[in-house]
Structure 1
Amino acid sequence: MAVLQVLSVILVTAACFGESVANLNVSGIDFDSFRKKFHRLYEVNSEEFSRRQINFQNAAVRHLYLNSFSGQTQSATYGINQFSDLSQMEFKDVYLRAESSSAPGFVGSTRAGLPAKFDWRDKGVVAPVQNQLACGSCWAFSTVGAIQAVHAMGGSQLEQLSVQQVVDCSYKNEGCSGGSPSHALAWLKQTRVKLVSHSDYPYKAKTGMCHFFSPSHEGVTVRNFSLHSFSGQEEAMMGQLVQFGPLAAIVDAVSWQDYLGGIIQHHCSSQWSNHAVLVVGYDTTGEIPYWIVQNSWGTTWGDQGYVYVKIGTNICGIADSVAAVFL
């Protein structure tokens, strides 16, 4: 679609929602600011420049729609971020590469006496937000994030473990082309491979040859893991998080391309789970209870790399496939 046509669509859409073009952040000046802020190097008047500018303008149209639901308390807000010059298909192809695993429904009891608010970050066991870059390795970040947290919960010093080792060596997955936390955990459990430190096996944002270490090399092994669906049982999922540590979950993150902050209450379902994240806590003290979720898209995305998802109606399919780790 030509630039003028896109601008026409924006004008019509803006009118429908009572917005002016001045509020849309689609001017050439704004696009220049975006390019500078996120270090985009494509040349002015190039084919890529034109394509990226159209993607940027289309993103502004999406933001009008997404933000039209923001009347609720603490609602999520959507706007310009580091993904705003990607088409939705490009975003999906690079960043939404997790494979959902069928999980049996949870049949245990709900833990009594749960705190109204709980956050594993307060215990010093959650590593800083990482950035997977242009590699579909969210599944590995989610898996390793859970393992290193549980390892620290056992009294060890919090240590950043190797995501690259899981990307390269987990033969049931496809490296930067996608994978599943449950497949990665099954591989670690079956092989008893020691997960080594990040410094021993640093992240490269591309799939490489598996590097093997001697049996005497220090590392963390996975004894077991659980995989359940907590759809309709998110209070039980809260109990699992408090008892066993941060949880690896698969979500539908299509709308997260534009997320800036606030509690997600709309715009995603569990129909197509495609992204792996780490659930580190929850807060039920306010009007809208929510999960505290660490993502792997760096600290410039969302709320310093975190996203908040409403508890209770399986928003984004966050309760559909949830893994806890046992070391």
Structure 2
Amino acid sequence: MFWKFSHKICFMEWLWLFFSFRKSLHFLPTFPTQSISVLSEILEILTFILEHNDCFKILEFFMDFRMRYNLVVATVDQSSSKIVLRGIFFVVHRFKDVCVLCLAIYLRSMPHKLPRYIKVPNGKEKPLPKKFDWRDKKVIAEVRNQQTCGGCWAFSVVGGIESAYAIKRNTLEELSVQQVIDCSYNNYGCSGGSTVSALSWLNQTKVKLVRDSEYTFKAQTGLCHYFDRSDFGVSITGFAAYDFSGQEEEMMRMLVSWGPLAVTVDAVSWQDYLGGIIQYHCSSGRANHAVLITGFDRTGSIPYWIVQNSWGPTWGIDGYVRVKMGSNVCGIADTVSAVFV
């Protein structure tokens, strides 16, 4: 039943695509120099469809494509048709190396209803700094690129483990994300997963994560590889996961005390982020992506979280995004995890 329904949707998306191109190609005679470029963009989209016969994945691709098309066409006139054409195809470029499937089915595994964080009185607390960033302490690994693998959940968790190990041992090791993608049996590999499920698996099994150089990233789910116990590896001793919505000041304390935080967010509108502070524009209303908070900055008029993404260093601000603090923007405080090694 689902198969038939899915393919019917895809057929409708094909119809929409056809009429969209007819409408956009109406402008081409006025701009002959753009014609060849636009036609090559159309070829790229058709190639995408042929390479990805997963109807659900194609549908998610076109949902954002259509949103971009409608937004641009509604805000420019025919004299600005060059902008229209650029806008129509802009999303194609943004999605080339972005985790389409991760955005689509991140919560394919059972979502976790986390307990609310309850503050335990602990005498006089130290005042929080106005600005704090774990990158300044050289305990944050380089920004990675998950490419077309929906393994954002694994990148977020491994990033947290790398930092926890570096804080404790004063040595920053690049650990294997592919190991978590392949071996975390309670997740779906490159088809989506949960940060909490991954941490639960690591905590229960005490699996040692090896170096990335020994188990390199393949951008697809593979068979789980096992290593000798004598080999180098990092295992976790535990983790904490809470809902901090409405308590972002306590979330700051957790970050300063325990290290970078793996969080889930609504990132549907993040694909074309270029800079600045995200304050609104979280359209889907549910978590669909996982990232790593490395710090915060409250020195300006708008306080913000400093967030490491896994879409490569060319995305955003050198691979990072700034998200406004205090209003649970994009659900950033709903599912927050810290890890201990």
TM over 0.5: yes
* 1:171 Cα deviation after fit: 1.0
> 1:98 aligned to 2:97?
no
What is the aligned partner in structure 2 of residue 133 from structure 1? Answer: 147
Structure 1: 5+ residue stretches without partners: 12-20, 22-26, 68-77
* 1:30 Cα deviation after fit: 6.1
Q: CA contact under 8 A between 1:59 and 1:84: conserved in structure 2?
A: no
CA separation of 1:85 and 1:150: change in aligned 2, threshold 3 A: closer
What is the aligned partner in structure 2 of residue 14 from structure 1? Answer: none
Bigger shift: 105-114 or 140-149? 105-114
Q: CA contact under 8 A between 2:103 and 2:267: conserved in structure 1?
A: no
For 2:198, the aligned partner's letter is: A
* 1:260 Cα deviation after fit: 2.0
What is the aligned partner in structure 2 of residue 180 from structure 1? Answer: 194
For 2:334, the aligned partner's letter is: D
CA separation of 1:294 and 1:224: change in aligned 2, threshold 3 A: same
**Quick one: distance in 2 between partners of 1:3 and 1:91?**
25
**Quick one: distance in 2 between partners of 1:96 and 1:238?**
29
What is the aligned partner in structure 2 of residue 241 from structure 1? Answer: 255
* 1:257 Cα deviation after fit: 2.3
CA separation of 1:156 and 1:59: change in aligned 2, threshold 3 A: same
**Quick one: distance in 2 between partners of 1:85 and 1:317?**
23
What is the aligned partner in structure 2 of residue 142 from structure 1? Answer: 156
Name the TM-score, length of structure 2 as normaliser: 0.75
1:269-302 CA-partner distances (Å, limit 9, x unpaired): 6831111100111111111111111111112222
1:38-64 CA-partner distances (Å, limit 9, x unpaired): xx6977xx989xx9xx99974654665
CA separation of 1:146 and 1:57: change in aligned 2, threshold 3 A: closer
**Quick one: distance in 2 between partners of 1:287 and 1:65?**
34
Give SS of 1:182's match.
helix
**Quick one: distance in 2 between partners of 1:249 and 1:295?**
11
Give SS of 2:280's match.
coil
What is the aligned partner in structure 1 of residue 173 from structure 2? Answer: 159
Q: Number of residues paired by the alignment?
A: 295
What is the aligned partner in structure 1 of residue 118 from structure 2? Answer: 107
CA separation of 1:56 and 1:228: change in aligned 2, threshold 3 A: closer
Give SS of 2:225's match.
coil
Structure 2: 5+ residue stretches without partners: 1-15, 29-33, 52-57, 76-86
Identity of aligned residues (%): 49
CA separation of 1:223 and 1:94: change in aligned 2, threshold 3 A: closer
Greater C-alpha radius of gyration: 2
> 1:219 aligned to 2:233?
yes
1:80-136 CA-partner distances (Å, limit 9, x unpaired): 4665468xxx96535444324221111015954100111111110110110111111
**Quick one: distance in 2 between partners of 1:227 and 1:270?**
23
CA separation of 1:7 and 1:291: change in aligned 2, threshold 3 A: farther
Give SS of 1:267's match.
coil
Q: CA contact under 8 A between 1:293 and 1:307: conserved in structure 2?
A: yes
**Quick one: distance in 1 between partners of 2:286 and 2:302?**
24
Greater relative contact order (CA < 8 Å, ≥ 6 in sequence): 1
What is the aligned partner in structure 2 of residue 256 from structure 1? Answer: 270
Name the TM-score, length of structure 1 as normaliser: 0.78
CA separation of 1:159 and 1:116: change in aligned 2, threshold 3 A: same
What is the aligned partner in structure 2 of residue 72 from structure 1? Answer: none
**Quick one: distance in 2 between partners of 1:125 and 1:222?**
17
Give SS of 1:149's match.
helix
* 1:251 Cα deviation after fit: 0.6
What is the aligned partner in structure 2 of residue 321 from structure 1? Answer: 335
Which of 274, 289, 295 in structure 1 is aligned with 2:309?
Answer: 295
Q: CA contact under 8 A between 1:95 and 1:135: conserved in structure 2?
A: no
Q: CA contact under 8 A between 2:100 and 2:150: conserved in structure 1?
A: no
**Quick one: distance in 1 between partners of 2:266 and 2:25?**
26
**Quick one: distance in 2 between partners of 1:320 and 1:65?**
35
- In the TM superposition, 1:255-274 aligns within 5 A as 255-268=269-282, 271-274=285-288
